[in-house]
Every structure is written in structure tokens, then in C-alpha cells.
Amino acid sequence: METGGIEKRQNRHKLIIVDDEAVIREGMRRILSAEGYHVETSASGRTAIEKIQEQDFDVVITDLKMPGMDGIEVLKTIKILQPEVPVILITAYSTVSSAVEAMKNGAFDYIAKPFSPDLIIDKVKKAIDYKTLMIDSFSDKQELSSDNGFNDFVGESIKMRKIYHRILQVAPTDSTVLITGESGTGKELAARAIHKSSLRHGHPFVAVDCTSLPETLLESELFGHVKGSFTGAIHSKTGLIKVADGGTLFLDEISNISLPAQAKLLRVLQERVLTPIGETRPVPIDIRLIVATNVNLRAMVTKGAFREDLFFRINVIPVHLPPLRERKGDLPLLILHFLRKYSEEIGKEVRGLAPDAVAVLEAYAFSGNVRELENIIERAVVLCEDDMIQRNDLELRPVEEERYQDLNSIPFSLEELKETKKQLRVSAVEAIEKVFAINALKRNDWNVSQAAEETGMLRPNFHALLKKLGISVKEHKNEEQII
């Protein structure tokens, strides 16, 4: 076994280069050591795996064609030992197709011989950036989960990890945030997450649904009024903007505010003062504004239905929440979360979902997104007549029977509610994930790369999921062909 030499500058990232050709190992070691990386080398796949078992690495660079344990075997072993570590393959031009195929099985990237120093440096930097994003995103989610305000924030897909990171980026500031997304994607939940992670978390969070109040009352509710300012104003009223003073005001579906109210809101944002209806003296105000909408505000500006100056005022930091169909990799966790929630709330010992019920949910369109899924699970918990939710309990539209006829997988089963949360989580998640993963593979003709993309998961993560569940693509595909 070989190790790297002296580094020119300190760098916390550790790499390992695996190649049976000494000239390749040494050349890459010199290039990357000069960039400040701690570099170790191995002349064979087996010695490399020994090191990987004993140490943590940030990137593995391995030759594809080696005697004994080749690059594919090294890749597969690393995905078991350290699945989050990106693997870069070195290959000759004649075997580029093999490297591309390896990427479908979890490799991060490949380098074709001959290669330039700049190319090597660029590939390694991208690999490290990727790993850092994954670690930071996981840490973001852990930080969010540590606060009671985020107990209902469920999801580990790449899109949701980016949302968690975005929330923690914008929360410490006072910048106005525009949250967009379809109905049911969790816009108010995101707004509350921003508030609870901000310096204003000890002050009020006031949420206003701009669709729930008629236009004639909305201005009064927002800005307040003095006694006698209009017919029916028998008492003075403090506006919700004033109630939020020192804290956060969340205006949900801001597109429903009238043009006159938009003008008043713009003044609040520009001058930080509030003038209640019937009052002549403005009152100083200190709020952080978060707004949300499920419509295209730019299109409304074009039509003259929304003020352009207000749009630019609120569109300082955009946060877009993806629909559930774009993050179906989160479906198993969401189902488990809502099943546990409503089993406990209703006081009904529902053990879980039958496989065909899980399959129907996995294929469902969810036009109402996460909110619709929650309603479906709550209804099913109420209606089910035994301890297992059946497909009919979901009361969804009919789905093609043939898509689920071979789903004889382990049922998604919760342990008794008195069991520890850890045991409950492991047994339930693994069972539902198995149905979810097999279904995704079948829809994509057992192509791992396509199945991962469709479910919103990264290829390496989806591949690691299959390994964890003991799903062999080759075996399942062969069984289907025999049937």
C-alpha cells in the first residue's frame, strides 16, 4: 500500500486513488496534492477497500480495468461501506461505454485517458461539492427537526433538502420571502419554519388567508380601523399587521388582495408605517413579511391585476415548493408519518397498509399534494374495519389492476403502538420502501437510473436503497420474464 507525499497547503478533504499503473497513481497524486488535498494511493482494489474500511474518504478515484478486483467491484463495495462517498472512474476511450453504465449503478463521474490536470481537478471539486451538499442538507433537516415547529416537515428527497437549506439561509435575515407552489405543498409550514428559525421567533407569527375574507373586510382586518370610520365600525380594531409588530406577517394567497389594498401594503413595506382606516396619523411598524401564492404573479402583473412595484418588493427571496409528484421519493416517509399521527390521534391501533394499498398511493396523481395525502390517510384510518388499511379504505379512483398483480411484497406494517419509536420506524419504512422501489423499477423497465430520476432520488441513493432492501434488479427482472 502506498500513501501520498507532502501537501503544499492544508486541506481537510481526503482522497484515495486506486490504479494498478504506478505512473497514473503518482501523476494524479502529484496533481491533487498540489491542490492541497490529502491523497492516498493503492495499487489494487483489495488494498483500497482495506483502507476504506479503516478510514473515511471524501472522494474515491479508481481505474475501471484492473486485475483481481476491478473498478466495478470497488464501486459496489464502496456503495455498501460508505454509500455517500462519490466514486470517479478512470477509463480508456475504448471502455467509455462501460464507465457510463457504471454511472447508472452509482458512480459519480468518469475520466477518460488521456486526461489533463485541469480536468482531474474540476471533477474532484465537483465531487466534493456534491458530498458537501448532501451532508449540509442532512444537517439542515436535523436542525429543522430539532424544533417543534418542524415536526410535520417530512421528506428527504434532493428537492426537499434544498428547501431545508434555503430556509436556514433566509431565516436569519429580515428580507421579504415569496413562497410559491401548488395548493397543499406546505407553504404556510415553510413560512412558520422561516419564522421559528429567525431572530423574531419570540414574537408573533400572524397568518392571514387572503381568500377567506371578502374584499370589503380584508383591508379592515389587515390595517385596522377607528370607531366610526365606516358604517358598522362601532369599535376601533387593531389590524393584523399591527398585531404582528416585532414578528412575522404571513399573507397566504396574496394574489387575492385588491389593488387599493396592494397600494397600502406597498406603503407599509416602503415606509414602515401603518395608517388604519379613518386614522390620519401613521403608526410606525416593524414586521418581517412572508407571502405565498399558487398563481403566476408575473402573469397577473402583465394583465394589470397585480401592482408591478409591489411584486418587485415581495419577490426578494423566492422559495418554490415542489409538488408531490416531483418528490415521490418522500412518499413512504409521508405515509408513515400520517399513519402514525392519525392512529394516535384517533386512538385506533392500525398496524399499517396492505401492499396493494401502498401501490395505489404510489401511482396516484395527488392534485392536492401533501394535504390531499394527509386527508386520504386520515380517512382510511377512520374507515378501516381491522388493523390493516386495505386498498378500498383509501376510496380513490380505480387504478389498473395489472400494475399490481405481482406485488406480493412484505406488507407495510407498523408494530404495535406501544413498541419503541425506533423499532416502529425501521419495520414500517423498510416494508413500504420495498413496495415503492419495486413499483418504480417496474414502471421503468427495471432501469435503475430512470427509476431514480422519476422518483426524485439521486442514482447512488436509489441504488443504496435497493441494496438495503435486498432487491436484486436482475433476479426480479428474470422472475417477471418467466411469469
pLDDT of 98 reads 67
- Amino acid identity, residue 107? A
pLDDT, tens only, 379-392 = 999 999 888 888 88
pLDDT, tens only, 411-446 = 334 443 334 334 434 444 565 667 778 888 888 888
pLDDT, tens only, 130-171 = 777 656 555 555 666 555 455 567 887 778 878 888 888 888
Residue 60 binned pLDDT confidence (cut-offs 50, 70, 90): very high
Do 476 and 335 share a structural domain?
yes
| Residue 160 located in a structural domain | no
pLDDT of 425 reads 42
How is residue 91 written as a grid cell? 477509463
Closest of 354, 227, 211, 238 to residue 293, by C-alpha: 211
Number of structural domains (the chain) is 3
What percent of the chain is modeled with pLDDT above 70? 79
Do 344 and 318 share a structural domain?
no
CA–CA separation, 119 vs 116, rounded Å?
5
More confident residue, 273 or 333: 273
pLDDT of 394 reads 92
CA–CA separation, 218 vs 254, rounded Å?
11
Last residue of a domain, one of 322, 339, 364: 322
How is residue 172 written as a grid cell? 436569519
Do 197 and 246 share a structural domain?
yes
| Residue 167 located in a structural domain | no
Pairing of strands 59-63, 14-18: parallel
**DSSP structural state of residue 63:** E
| Residue 144 located in a structural domain | no
Assess contact for 340 and 377: CB atoms under 8 A: no
Section 198-211 average pLDDT: 92
pLDDT, tens only, 80-103 = 667 778 899 888 755 556 666 666
Cβ neighbors of 130 (< 8 A, separation 6 or more) are 86, 108
Do 339 and 315 share a structural domain?
no
Highest mean pLDDT: which range of 5-19, 327-341, 448-462: 327-341
pLDDT, tens only, 299-348 = 999 999 999 999 999 998 899 999 998 887 788 888 888 888 899 999 88
More confident residue, 244 or 102: 244
Q: What is the CATH number of the domain that holds 316?
A: 3.40.50.300
pLDDT, tens only, 164-199 = 888 888 888 899 999 999 999 999 999 999 998 888
Highest mean pLDDT: which range of 15-19, 74-78, 272-276, 423-427: 15-19
Give residue for cell 387575492.
Answer: 256
SS3 content of the chain, % helix, strand, coil (to 5): 50, 15, 35
Sign for the pseudo-dihedral over CA of 338, 342, 345, 351: negative
Count the neighbouring beta carbons within 10 Å of the beta carbon of residue 114. Answer: 8
Section 260-265 average pLDDT: 90
> Cis peptide before 114, with omega less than 30 degrees from 0?
yes
Query: H helices within 212-279, ranges in order?
Result: 215-223, 240-243, 259-271
Do 90 and 228 share a structural domain?
no
pLDDT of 305 reads 94
pLDDT of 197 reads 86
Q: Is the pTM of this model over 0.85?
A: no
Please count the helices (runs of H) and the strands (runs of E) in the chain: 19, 18
Distances in Å between the Cα of 231 and the Cα atoms of 222, 227, 261, 278 are 18, 10, 19, 12
Residue 351 binned pLDDT confidence (cut-offs 50, 70, 90): confident
**DSSP structural state of residue 197:** T
pLDDT of 391 reads 87
Average pLDDT, the chain: 80
Whether 120 shows a pLDDT value over 60: the answer reads yes
| Residue 71 located in a structural domain | yes
pLDDT of 1 reads 44
Do 437 and 314 share a structural domain?
no
pLDDT of 55 reads 84
Assess contact for 38 and 80: CB atoms under 8 A: no
Last residue of a domain, one of 108, 134, 160: 134
More confident residue, 474 or 94: 474
Q: Where are the beta strands (DSSP E) in 359-437?
A: 388-389, 412-413
Do 442 and 331 share a structural domain?
yes
| Residue 104 located in a structural domain | yes
Q: What is the CATH number of the domain that holds 61?
A: 3.40.50.2300
Assess contact for 205 and 190: CB atoms under 8 A: no
CA–CA separation, 154 vs 383, rounded Å?
24
Q: What is the CATH number of the domain that holds 355?
A: 1.10.8.60
Mean pLDDT check: name the lowest of 54-68, 294-308, 324-338, 449-463.
449-463
Whether 13 shows a pLDDT value over 60: the answer reads yes
Do 305 and 195 share a structural domain?
yes
Range of the domain at 200: 172-322
